[in-house]
Amino acid sequence: MNLDDGIRTIKGIGEKAESAFRKAGVTTVRELLYYFPRSYECFEPPVPASMLRYRDEAAFSGVLLTSPVTRYVRNMKITEAVFRDDSGTVKAVWFNMPYLSGSLKAGSEYVIRGRLNGNGITRRFSQPKVFRAEEYRELESTLRPVYPLNRDLKGNVVSKAVKAALDGGALPEETLSEKLLSAYGLTDIRKAIREIHFPSSKEAFLIARKRLVFEEFYRFLVRIKELKKNVEKVPNSFVFGDRKEVDEVVEALPFTLTGAQAKVLRELRDDVSGPSVMNRLVQGDVGSGKTIIAFLLMYEAALNGYQSAIMAPTEVLAKQHAENFRKWSEAYGLNLSVTLLTGSMTARERRTAEEKIALHQTDIIVGTNALIQEKVHYSDLALVVTDEQHRFGVNQRKALSEKGRMPHVLVMSATPIPRTLGMILYGDMNVSIIDELPKNRLPIKNALVDIEYRGKAYAFIKKELAAGRQAYVICPKVTETEGNEGENVGDYAKALRNVLPGVRVEALHGRMKGEEKERIMEAFGKNEIGVLVSTTVIEVGIDVPNATVIMIENAERFGLAELHQLRGRVGRGQYQSYCILVDTTKSDASRERLEVLASSNDGFFIASEDLRLRGPGDFFGIRQSGDLAFRLADIYKDAAILKCAEEAAERTVKREDGVSSPVL
């Protein structure tokens, strides 16, 4: 059997199965062999009656006392049976399965498997599966594959097809070199494929899985590393003279750059004037001052006659950047033209902006993902910046970098991602780290409280407002209508106006019109609004250093890294700032989780805790963006294998050894 043949060549696969498989993306024998189980059903050893715990999934082995009896209750048929082992008796109940009365024999030993319900006095399995004892003993040592199924691909169709293919002589070819296999103690591909579908034991399964996970990581990393090598080789066709005007602005700033900022700015300026196109990630915790660095580099591009573009994940942030850039241009007499481009602009405004861009009547273009639309044509685009990259996918980052003729790429992120994850997401980039906060900052003071504390919190906010400061209150919802629990921005703002008479309290959320959002952010920026009650639209980037309190309602609903970002909205200036986390659950688990945040202001620590608690799939929007779409591998659980694969990939890319024909 040829691996590239269609699956119809496999015995037992007809037209119907073929079309079901096609829907699951499987058309060839090879694709079938690589269609791995989603999980395995494992038949655990039976638990004695005295050790069974309520609501646990468990198996119990016992002798059936009397033939099962079926009763009719309204239009339901209820069959009951009692089993006994040395330590006690257990009841089982089935609905609408009267035939069991005939098939189960009193005095024989059975294993029943399911969830144990009951009220402490009676314990019973409802709707358990029943096995003959010897049948179960055989199953006990196996793992039965569970495949991702669809409406047409049901039951054991996949299992049967894979078995038929393997029995029919479909043999996957080895894809890793002998050297790699022996260096990392990996099993060969044929054994791995067979065992992943039909594990002969747990140990054998783990060995197979290790091999396949390794290969997945390894191929991914080789690709990323090759990409990096290629990018490094793209010659820099832009002429970037080091311009003293940039240094003059640095001198004129109301603050001195931190050592880390100065170092990163130097790296970036060296990159853009170097022999190849820049491809760099700047990572710095919230409030470390990334914006000014990006701005200075864009200014240098403008001085050299080039356009640059910066993409932000929200309109509010794009707008803020545009305003800051205009303000700086004015303050330091830079004579820069800044153009905003977002989705909420009218068709006419957009056309005007697009024209200015195409005719090179503007130097810096600021926008949301509207920047990567096809109809936007840049002129002499030499630098693209993605702010808050973790909110975008790798694909959006790439789309922006493919504008113009291979511009320099700068990516900024506040999320300190653990190294393992960084390798996957940014393995193709050079990395700079801003590991220092501006000197004038005081660490944020945190309080983790329950709802009874609200009164005190409002009194505290009142005091801060009286001292001239401002506050944010974050609610998870926009209006009452979405489900019934959790605070919503609309009602909360109303209620707060009563609590804080004479204070201007405004609401902000993503569903408001662009103009309205702008109006409110502008007024908040000018301290015309005392308290801003907002959803997480302000999560990233927003910079109002005069705000010193952030109170987060229903804190239990947010991820830790997300909360850290939200908290980063305060503590951005010289004033002592505060973060009040309101946990409405009274649950120990929730409190423990939020305690991580309350006890640390270190983004790196929080991100790794978040990753540990939630797993990488939930880590920001990473999975949604499809960046971590591995078949088997899990970058967190398989961190040890990832490390080996990275080392192997590095060697391969350097010395070109180890890979043979690529699979899939």
For Mg ion, the binding residues (CB under 5 A) are 541
CB of 269 or CB of 391, closer to Mg ion: 391
From the CB of 510, what's the least distance to ligand ADP, in Å? 20
Can you spell out the DSSP letters for 623-660? Answer: TTTTTT--SS--TTTTHHHHHHHHHHHHHHHHH--SB-
From the CB of 258, what's the least distance to ligand ADP, in Å? 5
* Residue 196, H or E segment: helix 189-197
258 binds, among Mg ion, ligand ADP, none (CB under 5 to 8 A by kind): ligand ADP
37 binds, among ligand ADP, Mg ion, none (CB under 5 to 8 A by kind): none
From the CB of 603, what's the least distance to Mg ion, in Å? 13
Q: CA–CA separation, 13 vs 20, rounded Å? A: 10
Look up residue 652 and give its amino acid. T
CB of 284 or CB of 559, closer to ligand ADP: 284
Can you spell out the DSSP letters for 546-589? Answer: TEEEEEETTGGGS-HHHHHHHHTTSS-SSS--EEEEE--S--HH
CB of 310 or CB of 424, closer to ligand ADP: 310
* Residue 215: closest CA among 628, 635, 629, 663: 663
CB of 320 or CB of 339, closer to ligand ADP: 320
CB of 196 or CB of 414, closer to ligand ADP: 414
* Residue 310: closest CA among 380, 409, 226: 409
CB of 530 or CB of 541, closer to Mg ion: 541
* Residue 84, H or E segment: strand 76-85
Residue 620 neighbours by CB under 8 Å, 6+ apart: 390, 391, 415, 559, 561, 562
* Residue 600: closest CA among 551, 563, 569, 556: 563
Q: Calculate the CA 107 to chain-centre distance.
A: 54
DSSP strand pairing (109-118 vs 57-64): antiparallel
Strand order in the sheet with 547-552: 445-449, 578-582, 547-552, 470-474, 531-534, 505-508
Look up residue 479 and give its amino acid. T
From the CB of 158, what's the least distance to ligand ADP, in Å? 48
From the CB of 286, what's the least distance to Mg ion, in Å? 7
- What is the phi/psi pair of residue 141, to 5°? -90, 0
From the CB of 350, what's the least distance to Mg ion, in Å? 25
From the CB of 331, what's the least distance to ligand ADP, in Å? 12
Residue in the shown chain whose Cβ atom is closest to Mg ion: 541
Q: CA–CA separation, 516 vs 467, rounded Å? A: 28
Q: CA–CA separation, 14 vs 5, rounded Å? A: 14
Could you tell me where the beta strands, DSSP code E, fall in 86-158? 88-95, 109-118, 123-126, 129-132, 143-146
95 binds, among ligand ADP, Mg ion, none (CB under 5 to 8 A by kind): none
From the CB of 366, what's the least distance to ligand ADP, in Å? 14
* Residue 389: closest CA among 628, 646, 230, 625: 625
The strand pairing partners of 276, in sequence order, are 235
How far CA 48 is from CA of 58, 90, 109, in Å, comes to 10, 10, 14
- Residues within the interface to ligand ADP (CB under 6 A): 255, 257-258, 261, 284, 286-292, 414, 438, 440, 543, 545, 572
CB of 261 or CB of 625, closer to ligand ADP: 261
From the CB of 389, what's the least distance to Mg ion, in Å? 11
Could you tell me where the beta strands, DSSP code E, fall in 485-541? 505-508, 531-534
DSSP strand pairing (88-95 vs 76-85): antiparallel
CB of 568 or CB of 658, closer to ligand ADP: 568
From the CB of 414, what's the least distance to ligand ADP, in Å? 5
CB of 291 or CB of 304, closer to ligand ADP: 291
Q: CA–CA separation, 509 vs 2, rounded Å? A: 57
257 binds, among Mg ion, ligand ADP, none (CB under 5 to 8 A by kind): ligand ADP
From the CB of 642, what's the least distance to ligand ADP, in Å? 29
536 binds, among Mg ion, ligand ADP, none (CB under 5 to 8 A by kind): none
From the CB of 539, what's the least distance to Mg ion, in Å? 11
79 binds, among ligand ADP, Mg ion, none (CB under 5 to 8 A by kind): none
Residue in the shown chain whose Cβ atom is closest to ligand ADP: 289
CB of 208 or CB of 529, closer to ligand ADP: 529
How far CA 343 is from CA of 291, 307, 326, in Å, comes to 22, 21, 20
Q: Calculate the CA 425 to chain-centre distance.
A: 11
From the CB of 460, what's the least distance to ligand ADP, in Å? 24
CB of 539 or CB of 610, closer to ligand ADP: 539
From the CB of 305, what's the least distance to ligand ADP, in Å? 26
From the CB of 292, what's the least distance to ligand ADP, in Å? 5
Look up residue 376 and give its amino acid. V
The number of helices, as runs of H, and strands, as runs of E, in the chain is 22, 22
572 binds, among ligand ADP, Mg ion, none (CB under 5 to 8 A by kind): ligand ADP
CB of 20 or CB of 434, closer to ligand ADP: 434
The strand pairing partners of 339, in sequence order, are 365
61 binds, among ligand ADP, Mg ion, none (CB under 5 to 8 A by kind): none
Q: CA–CA separation, 121 vs 101, rounded Å? A: 25
Place of tokens 């060296």: 270
Q: CA–CA separation, 345 vs 171, rounded Å? A: 57
